[in-house]
Structure 1
Amino acid sequence: MTTSPYPSAAQSPRPNLAFRALRGQRSPGEFAAAVRRAARQIGERVSCDARYIGRVEAGEIRCPNYAYERVFLHMFPGRTLADLGFAPRSAVRGRSARPAPVTGGPPHHDHPHHHEESDVRRRAFMTGMTGSTATVAVATLTPFSVPTLAPGLDRHPARAGIGAVEEAIRRIRVLDDRHGADGLYRRAAEPLRTAFELLDSGTAQRDVAERLQAGAGELAISVGWLAHDSGRFDDARSHYAEALATARMAGDEALEAHAFCNTAFLARDAGRPREAVRAAQAATRIAAHLGSPRLLSLLALREAGGWAGLGDRPACERSLARAQALFARGASEADPEWMSFYGEAELEGLEAQCWSALGDWARAARHARRAAALQDPHFTRNIALYTAQYADDLARAGQPDEAAAAGLRTLAFLREVRSSRIEAMLATTARVLLPHRRASGVSAFLDAHAASRRPASV
């Protein structure tokens, strides 16, 4: 049996000696001040202090969030995250288990992703329940799947299943970042059912049950997002409601805010803008004391999207201004790990969607273009989405040649990304451009788009 290179829940984190060496003779406080200065040089804001540096050096923060990553790479040009002693981002994309609360301190963001005590438990998942035992599933992962299941036994199914629930969340998020939702949704539904079976069995100790509740709720949101992004709005609504109920039963405000955040986004996309506003406002009330300006910024954008759908431009502009001001306050240790996608690119992309809904196509196009340019290359699906948004806004703004060029770039992304949302946007763009078929480049896009929608010949 191979040993994982990453610390388990039963082990102490592995100290980050490489990062400690870079600090040299400076105290943690002095080094934190240098980090803050470097952040200002590149237009970032991070709330770095001696405590954060200590957590990095202790190995508690296995991979920094994107804001810190940009600052560290600016401070040490030519080095990679691995050179700085960090783990690959793909190993920590999932939602970490909650640490024990620290009296008087804020909730942590970059705490370690806890694996179980053995390799089997890290990869275990449950498929059925029989008395006090369950069938254990050993995960095998392919580039376009989530864990598949194989038989086995474990005397503590809930404890063994926690690691697999968290691994499923991590894997779903990583694959969605790269490939979009369409190829994942059906595969992800099975682990979700199993997670709730484990939760309903009632056999776990309290600490295990609480962690399993949080994991099941986050998994419900992840699966709900896959349904949402692949156009299965009723399924998404059901999964988000399941997550919300789980959060309320557990008294988990962070999970409840996340569920309302996604509910607001779904309501906007499903043509229920007033519900989107109410859900975003509910999430904001819950998140107000969670200590994360970035979370509040995202929720303000969710509310702005609802106001845009209602055609209320002044209310939308107020929400956008609030989102930008909160975002400018910088990253925080209290930022939820599921928000790792939310950076300047997403801020620009969501603002583009607001202006598009309000019919200000030229302004929307400017923000969509910036979103695509700013997006981290890891988030292939988001780059494709922003480029599709840019193409549609240009088409509606009366710039068919530029729209066609952006449309062709999006089609190139769709060789790797499968997303009904993006495909629907491109179909709309093609309809808008149809009267301009004679324009330079437009016919090439229309032909390529038509070819992409034809089933492959056998």
Structure 2
Amino acid sequence: MGENQKFARAMDELDMSQPELVRRLNDEIGELTGREGRLTTRDVRRYLKGETRWPHAKQRIPIERVFGRPATDLGFVPRSKKAQEAPPEDSVHRRTFVTATTGTVVGAVAGAGSRTRLGLSDVERYGDEYAKIIAQDKALGGAQKVENAAVELAMRIQSDLGGSRASARTRTKLYCLASNVTCSAAFAAIDAQARTRARGHLDKAVTLAGLSGDSETQYHVWNHLSMVAVQRHDFAEVAAAADAARSQSIAKNDPLYASLAHMRRANALAGAGDRPGSLRALAAAERSFDRRAELERPPWIGFYDQAEFDGLSSLVWLKLGEPDRAESHLHRALTAIRPELVRNRTYYSAHLALSQATQGDLELACSTGDRTAAMLGRIRSKRTSETLVKVQKIVAATGSKEPGVRAGLERARTWI
């Protein structure tokens, strides 16, 4: 393991100090992920000494963007034999443009770290990775590993888009994928109640969706923005995001999308205390849902079936102060939820306990909470755990001396 002289020469060519390189790399990471990077000069020294032979994609892609050339041209050695044997690209696709006054890179290199030309096979390859992330999300909830996997995949797609040629059709599909994957990162953050991270991901997704020009992709972003706004209790923004989703052509042409947008609006209006408006939106959601057809749709919206319709309806009824109606919907939802939707089952089980506690069925609420806590041990969902905290507080606030309730409250202290 020797010193990486190519990397050292590249820094010299740009007259870049280690602290300056760290700042530039962290800025690139922030631009790509919505979160400021955390690299230090120690990381740069590891590059220079050759201790880091092939940086992780989260570091490698920003390095390529800063220097305007592939990582292999900077002295890094891929772990993959296939990558090592890849033919060099024509130098015309690897030019770096540097400003005369500051020495900063102002134009990235075409082809850095990617193929010369992208095609539909690349779209399919990235699409397969995206499907795995969605499957992980269903099973694990808002786990950091799901969010990180989505961020990394989005970064790789964007790197390919910035450094390769592609047809307009392929480019559109990749922008759609990058936006949808970034939405998956946002949803993992939403489930973890990390609202700032979620909003940062969605700010990036908005741009990618706009570049795609695709109505369904833009709908996806607005749907997630409405969920972040719910967590902030900004019900005006929830309604605005739901309206933006409903204005997309996909919602005008497909009743399922229209239904979900109406449901988000019903939730917002219920939270704002507008009972008549919320009930109108809920009725519109039901009418649209009943008109849905069995069509092939993107994988992210596969969650919105009859069980989810009942689950989301229950949240509206809880906000409207009718926990008995909420409980009825929750029982239907939990009966019909598909086995693979583990996170959803846990989430609605917690709300079933909440509806029971709100009605004064304290022992039953504690029993439901016990079952939910057992499921929660297998997934990460702060949304769910915070719902169980609400159940604990309701039961404790009653001051009940009933033996069954007191025993249930003792068990409840072990839920989280």
TM-score, normalising length: structure 1: 0.64
Instruction: State the AA in 2 paired with 1:270.
Output: R
Given that 1:404 and 1:441 are in contact with CA atoms closer than 8 Å, whether structure 2 keeps it comes out as no
Partner of 1:199 in structure 2? 161
Asked if residue 167 in structure 1 is aligned to residue 128 in structure 2, the reply is yes
Residue 358 of structure 1 and its aligned partner are, at CA, apart by 1.9
Give 1:278 deviation, angstroms: 0.9
C-alpha distance after superposition, 1:302-333 (max 9, x if no partner)? 11111111110100000110111111113342
**Deviation at residue 204 of structure 1 after TM alignment:** 3.5
Task: Give CA-to-partner distance per residue, 1:360-387, whole Å, 9 cap, x none.
Answer: 2222222222211221111111111111
C-alpha distance in 2 between matches for 1:403 and 1:180: 23
For the Cα contact (< 8 Å) 2:215–2:250, is it kept in 1? Answer: no
Partner of 1:156: 115
The runs of 5 or more residues in structure 1 that have no matched partner are 1-124, 136-148, 454-458
Deviates more, 1:224-233 or 1:193-202: 193-202
Task: Give percent identity, aligned residues only.
Answer: 27
Output the CA distance in 1 between the equivalents of 2:365 and 2:147: 31
Answer whether contact 1:165 1:216 (CA < 8 A) is retained.
Answer: no
Residue in 2 that maps onto 1:49: none
CA gap of 1:289–1:189, structure 2 versus 1, over 3 A, is closer
Do residues 251 (structure 1) and 213 (structure 2) align? yes
Which of 377, 399, 416 is residue 415 of structure 1 equivalent to? 377
Which residue matches 1:429?
391
SS at 2:227's partner residue? helix
Structure-2 residue corresponding to 1:220: 182
Give the letter for the 1:451 counterpart: T
State the AA in 1 paired with 2:369. G
Separation in 1, partners of 2:372, 2:402? 19
The Cα shift of 1:444 comes to 4.2
Deviation string 1:249-269 (CA, Å, 9 cap, x unpaired) is: 221111011111111122122
Counterparts of 1:368-379 in structure 2, within 5 Å, are: 368-379=330-341
Change in 2 beyond 3 A, CA 1:449/1:418: farther
Q: 2:244 aligns with which of 271, 282, 289?
A: 282
SS across alignment from 1:451:
coil
The residue aligned with 1:118 is: none
Q: How does 1:88-99 map to 2 (within 5 A)?
A: none
Q: TM-score, normalising length from structure 2? A: 0.70
In 2, the alpha carbon distance for the partners of 1:364 and 1:299 equals: 20
Shift in Å at residue 161 of structure 1?
5.3
Is 1:392–1:425's contact at 8 Å kept on the other side of the alignment? Answer: yes
1:392 corresponds to 2:351? no
Give the secondary structure class of the aligned counterpart of 2:166.
coil
2: CA distance between counterparts of 1:262 and 1:270?
13
Structure 1 residues 316, 244: closer, same or farther in 2, change over 3 A? Answer: same
Question: How large is the RMSD of aligned CA atoms in angstroms?
Answer: 2.5
Question: Partner of 2:411 in structure 1?
Answer: 448
Q: 1:440 to 1:176 in 2, by over 3 A?
A: farther
Aligned equivalent of 1:353 = 315
Contact 1:348 1:367 in 2 (8 A): yes
Higher helix share: 2
Q: Given residue 362 of structure 1, which amino acid in structure 2 is its aligned partner?
A: D
CA distance in 1, matches of 2:277, 2:188: 30
Q: Residue by residue, what CA displacement relative to the aligned partner does 1:217-254 show, whole Å, maximum 9, x if unpaired?
A: 11011111011111111111121222222121221111
